[in-house]
Structure 1
Amino acid sequence: MFQLTGALATSADGTVLAEDSPGVETEAAAAQTADVLAAVLRLADVTGRGTPRELVVRGGSGYLATYAAGRSTVLTLLAEDGVNLGRLHLEGRRCAARIGELVDGGTAAPPAPDPPPLSPTTAPTTAAVAAPGAVGATAAPASVPHRTHPPRTDGASAPTTHR
């Protein structure tokens, strides 16, 4: 069982785009999300931690996880206290990437684990209207190290099994 209890997609300025959160005042939650987002952006800036992409809060009765969803949208998930946090992140990041594609008008490419930040030419001018992951220079793609092995000179073939 996944133990997800609610979901809320909002614009970074606090407008509700979609929601399924029984028992939650969605307009108030959206407005608070925008306020917290502005504070998180300032905190990340002054601490030099880079562009925020997600925020997790653990309360007495569960989790609230917020993910960047494209350039100007935020996905907030509510989950029970016993949730598998790794799975919540996996599904939250995947859903946020897809929502970002839909809202930003992108193509239906496979979702990425983290949405890319905006380039400096398209970044919003105020922190209060920027989604996590939406402020900062375009990050260079991470290079995946490629391990090469020296050629075998003794004429032996490579082993077929590993222990």
Structure 2
Amino acid sequence: MSKEDSLDKILRDLLSSIAEIKGAAIVSPEGLPIASALRPDVDETRIAAMTAALLSLGERAGHELDKGQLEQVYVRGQRGYVLVMSAGMNAVLTVETTKDIKLGLVFLDCRRACERIAKLV
């Protein structure tokens, strides 16, 4: 299986594991799309760029406040969450969920996905 196929499978597995996960993408820390399983109406290039911006701001805030290495950033909106998690040095996982999700469960599954991604990228 190619690297691209393996990354796509990780995203498909993540989406099928929790019904409240509605989309996911793997992007580079520079904001370039690597793999995605996003809704058709979502622009993966824009999401990749925004993910990099969120990651950068989170890292700077954590550094400035002496909180150590960034593990995750999440945004809570009226209709759900956007989760951004580091997946090694070369990738970031972004996940879109509904508002009715149990965050602990999603964090656990996303962390496992990030470990798999880090081995490939």
User: Do Structure 1 and Structure 2 share a fold, with TM-score over 0.5?
Assistant: yes
Q: Could you tell me the percent identity over the aligned residues?
A: 31
Other-structure match for 2:68? 50
**Any residues of structure 2 matched to 1:44-83 within 5 Å, and which?**
44-83=62-101
Question: What does residue 55 of structure 2 align with?
Answer: 37
Counterpart CA distance in 1 for 2:64 and 2:103 is 28
| Residue among 1, 17, 21 paired with 2:34 | 17
| Residues 110-121 of structure 1: pairs in structure 2 closer than 5 A | none
Partner residue, 2:44:
26
Q: In proportion to residue count, which structure has more helix?
A: 2
Paired residues of 2:24 and 2:93 also in contact (CA < 8 A): yes
Match of residue 7 from structure 1: 24
TM-superposed deviation, 1:33: 1.1
Alignment gaps of 5+ in structure 2:
1-17
Which amino acid in the other structure matches residue 90 of structure 2?
S
Q: Which runs of 4+ in 1 moved over 6 A?
A: none
Larger Rg: 1
**Gapped regions of structure 1 (runs ≥ 5):** 104-163
Q: Is the 8 A contact 2:55 2:84 kept in 1?
A: no
Q: CA RMSD in A?
A: 1.0
Give 3-state SS (helix, strand or coil) of 1:41's partner: helix
Using CA pairs under 8 Å that are at least 6 residues apart, name the structure with larger relative contact order, 1 or 2.
2
Contact 1:6–1:79 at 8 Å: present in 2 too? yes
Q: Which amino acid aligns with 1:84?
A: K
TM-score by length of 1: 0.61
Aligned length: 103
Question: What is aligned with 2:10?
Answer: none
User: What secondary structure, in the 3-state scheme, does the structure 2 residue paired with 1:35 have?
Assistant: helix
Report the 3-state secondary structure (helix = DSSP H, G, I; strand = E; otherwise coil) of the residue aligned with 2:89: coil
The alignment's TM-score, normalised by the length of structure 2, stands at 0.81
Deviation at residue 2 of structure 1 after TM alignment: 3.0
SS in 1 for 2:60: helix
| 2:97 is aligned with 1:97 | no
Distance in 1 between residues matched to 2:116 and 2:49, nearest whole Å: 23
